[in-house]
Chain A
Amino acid sequence: MARLEIDSALVERVARLARLELTEAEADRLKTELAEIVDYVGQLDELDTSTVSPTTQVSESGTPMREDEAQPDPAGAEILAGAPEREGRFFKVPRIVE
């Protein structure tokens, strides 16, 4: 598999998707660091995995499940109380549509 090329455009794009604002110096540093990380992970390319199906989990038993029972959580009120901004019982955020 072709190695992922980390260039300035990619760093900028990832930063935008993560809603991060980077200075030029930070972007340069990240470009180098990300390239090193990708290189490191790239060692896995030495293995032949053509006959192995993608593994996303090592647990074999399947996800545990809960019964369908509603239980109020007392922490709910605390979450609302801890909001940086509130209006009545709503969380208040900067307007997101024009």
Chain B
Amino acid sequence: MASDNYEAIIGLEVHTHLATRAKLFCGCSTAFGAPPNQNICPVCAGMPGTLPVLNRGAVELALRVGLAMSCEIAFESVFARKSYFYPDLPKGYQITQYELPLCRGGRVELPPDREGRSRTVRLTRIHLEEDAGKNIHTGGASLVDLNRAGVPLLEIVSEPDLRTAQEAGAYLRELREILRYTGASDGRMEEGSLRCDVNVSVRPAGSEQYGVKVEIKNLNSFRFVERAIEYEVGRQIEALAAGATLTQETRLWDAGRSVTRPMRSKEFADDYRYFPEPDLPPLVVAPAWVAQVRAKMPELPAERRTRFTRELGLGPYEAGVLTQQRELADYFEALAAQVTNRRSAANWVMTEVLRFANESNKPLAEAVSPAVEAAALLRMVEAQQISLNAAKTAFAALCAGWQKGEHKSATDLVAELGLTQVSDEAEIAAACDRLLASESVKVAEYRAGRDKLFGFFVGQVMKAMGGRANPKVVNQVLRRKLQS
């Protein structure tokens, strides 16, 4: 296939809302879901004669993200005006940062893949800017809601270090977790708090030169980002393989048809006439402030992964899966603290907990019975009171109830479903005797050398005892009886 001869070069620009109470340059609320134009004032509505005053909280959150991503923090950064006309931009310009951003450089470590390979994505910059309002196009008019105008945004620009759609997805998920861990953003894409533009080019494998770059806009879900990259890489390779030339352009993702299409020239103006914002002196961030923010930094996903591998003995891939969501990692830690075998706790969270969380499409806390109940089940498994399968059955029932608002204890449920494991030798021996007596032909075959039949005998005894027998004891008893 021709695609093996090409390499994709991908860079991402991510915009995220910062979780402040007030807007970036005025005191209006940033609350999502207010009635249209409820949270507006003369500043964010662009009334003449008003002046912006920078929100310290937004700067602090930006600093946290910058430090979490190992950026260099600029002692002095400068706001700039980006001019364009659009009804959702009442001033006729957006206040952003251009030549001198707050954070420069930086990097994001991606969690290791199944083969244990990790990757580092370098960042170009992180800067602060204000969001625009929202337009709704209807009939012959456009309706404008300025609630979002002036809400603080952080723009995180990566270097072209990504090579596949999957890597881009992994990068976005890691970014979202860092934003959540630092409290900078809730990372909810559906409310527009995380938006993404993608730069994609392809080049022949082994080539040092970059190909012609295409920018894709309008991506508001991780799934769309991955699909748009896949489509665009395929389109570019096809064109190059056919000997066509690509044009540098901006394209839009059309979610309805799952394709990218060129933006009409009217849809973008590329003369933004950036110049330093005269209404705002430079943003000065004293080293003491940076030190203070650094001292208050929480543990980050990459640090947590390292701790999980070093202190809890997990593999790098397992640690990556468990830290992909803060809530999941918290659940695992709560569970691991209450059981002896941390590896079984890890397996439990990666299979059972993740399954119910994914199937229900709800936040973890609503989808899955609390860790204390899972811990009770795992302790019963450790004490050989129930089998692992019985624990899974019980957990499924606990989660189903939990999602409906019921709260049962693991102990009660195990009793109610009759899942207690039978380890009593006499009871198991009786069941074995009954089986061996009824299967005299197979017993003779086994003794004649058909070793494989042993598994059959175990299965039949388990079945006869309704799956509640302790398989270890069944094995021992059967082996003894068949040898004699």
- Across the interface, which residues of A come within 8 angstroms of B140, CB to CB? 94-95
A-B contacts, 11 of them at CB < 8 A, read: A57-B281, A63-B280, A64-B54, A68-B56, A68-B57, A71-B22, A76-B38, A80-B40, A89-B38, A93-B144, A96-B137
- Across the interface, which residues of B come within 8 angstroms of A90, CB to CB? 36-37, 136, 143-145
Q: Does B76 contact A (CB under 8 A)?
A: yes
Nearest 7 Cβ contacts at the A-B interface: A68-B57, A62-B284, A73-B41, A90-B143, A56-B276, A70-B29, A65-B56
State in angstroms the CA–CA spacing of A96 and B85 once bound together.
11
Q: Does B206 contact A (CB under 8 A)?
A: no
Q: Are A76 and B141 in contact (CB under 8 A)?
A: no
State in angstroms the CA–CA spacing of A31 and B201 once bound together.
42
CB distance from A52 to the nearest CB of B (A): 15
A-contacting residues, B247-288, CB 8 Å: 267, 271, 273, 276, 278, 280-284
Assuming the contacts A68-B22, A87-B141, asked whether A96 and B53 have C-beta atoms less than 8 A apart, the reply is no
Q: Does B65 contact A (CB under 8 A)?
A: no
Q: Does A75 contact B (CB under 8 A)?
A: yes
CB distance from B284 to the nearest CB of A (A): 3
Q: Are B20 and A68 in contact (CB under 8 A)?
A: yes
CB distance from A36 to the nearest CB of B (A): 22
Q: Are B27 and A66 in contact (CB under 8 A)?
A: yes
Q: Are B146 and A91 in contact (CB under 8 A)?
A: yes
Assuming the contacts A63-B281, A63-B282, A94-B142, asked whether A73 and B59 have C-beta atoms less than 8 A apart, the reply is no
Across the interface, B142 reaches (CB within 8 A) one of A17, A62, A93, namely A93
Q: Does A46 contact B (CB under 8 A)?
A: no
Q: Are A91 and B284 in contact (CB under 8 A)?
A: no
Interface residues of A (CB under 8 A from B): 17, 19, 56-57, 59, 61-73, 75-76, 79-80, 87-97
Q: Are B22 and A70 in contact (CB under 8 A)?
A: yes
Q: Are B37 and A95 in contact (CB under 8 A)?
A: no
- Across the interface, which residues of B come within 8 angstroms of A89, CB to CB? 35-38, 145
Q: Are A62 and B283 in contact (CB under 8 A)?
A: yes
Assuming the contacts A70-B28, A87-B141, A95-B141, asked whether A75 and B41 have C-beta atoms less than 8 A apart, the reply is yes
State in angstroms the CA–CA spacing of A70 and B55 once bound together.
10
CB distance from B285 to the nearest CB of A (A): 8
Assuming the contacts A19-B85, A91-B144, A96-B87, asked whether A66 and B273 have C-beta atoms less than 8 A apart, the reply is no
- Across the interface, which residues of A come within 8 angstroms of B446, CB to CB? none
Q: Are A80 and B280 in contact (CB under 8 A)?
A: no
- Across the interface, which residues of B come within 8 angstroms of A93, CB to CB? 87, 141-144
Q: Are A95 and B282 in contact (CB under 8 A)?
A: no
- Across the interface, which residues of B come within 8 angstroms of A79, CB to CB? 37, 40-42, 45, 47
Q: Are A65 and B30 in contact (CB under 8 A)?
A: no
State in angstroms the CA–CA spacing of A66 and B451 once bound together.
79
